[in-house]
Structure 1
Amino acid sequence: MAEDLKIITTADKAAQYQSLLPQIEALITGEPDLVANLANIAAALKEQFNWWWVGFYLVKDDELVLGPFQGPVACTRIGKGKGVCGAAWEKEKTLIVPDVEEFPGHIACSSLSRSEIVVPLLSDGEVWGVLDVDSEHLAHFDETDGDYLEQLVNLIRF
């Protein structure tokens, strides 16, 4: 198992993802514990991209409940359809929000968060959680992030 990932800081965003995804796949392959894998994925993404907050919310009793994350203290529970995370869960699609202040019903877990991307985690057509990433910069995320983060969540076995 490779606990030390090769961090690339000088390449463009796509190249960074192309280097990181196989490393994450190798890191989680053979490890059956979901929490351990989600924790390592959050840490790897935070280390590579230095985002403000990166983590997972897991569906429990019809709510999203905070799971493994990296960053400041976060909201613990989010209802379906509430905020960006709840909306991505409800719509079962990736949401990219360039300015969280303009998202109707945005939940401000941190006033420093300015943009966000949320990717649903699916198994057998059901959302069982979301990957949530926040940046302190406006319009930080784009389709490149969406495409690669969707590839990443498809590596996770629930």
Structure 2
Amino acid sequence: MSLEYGNPTPEDLQNKVYFLLEQLQQMSLELPTKYQQRIPCELLSGLANCLLNETVFEIVKGLMEIQHVTEKHLFQQRLQLINKHSMELQDLLHRYPDDETRSHHRALMLQKHKTEIKSTDMKLVLQLDQKVSDQQVVLEKAGVPGFFVTNNPMDVKVQMFLLDFILRLSKMKVPS
């Protein structure tokens, strides 16, 4: 390897591409056949070449961290709503000592809570979908093969596998 100015030689880069491609091919073979068919050799080759730029690993790690923070925040929002509902039910028990009246109000409240949870869950899913779309835009703009804005479940699943491949490669000792 050429240590001159830290620049790798063309042979070093070629060895790195071959290593990355070989690893990507191995990883793709671990997938169910229906997904293997959606990840052609040309895509893996393009991805291997793209990963010569270490920035892609950093982008993916950054996107993953943002997603984890977002998921944690959304989960906290949902827990707060559930806690609020629990407190409302406790308040109801103290407010209506009469079993029949309490039972009627409790049924109404539980229906209201069910509707609120469903509405909240739908909003949370939409926020997660938007996060996926944002990630697709970033990766597409970064020139990462296989990434484009889509909500097609098969394409999204393939992109998730590609992200997993990139994360796994980021943890490997790649020849320089």
- What is the TM-score with the length of structure 1 in the denominator? 0.29
Higher relative contact order, structure no. (Cα contacts within 8 Å, ≥ 6 residues apart)? 2
Structure 1 or 2: more helix by fraction: 2
- What is the TM-score with the length of structure 2 in the denominator? 0.27
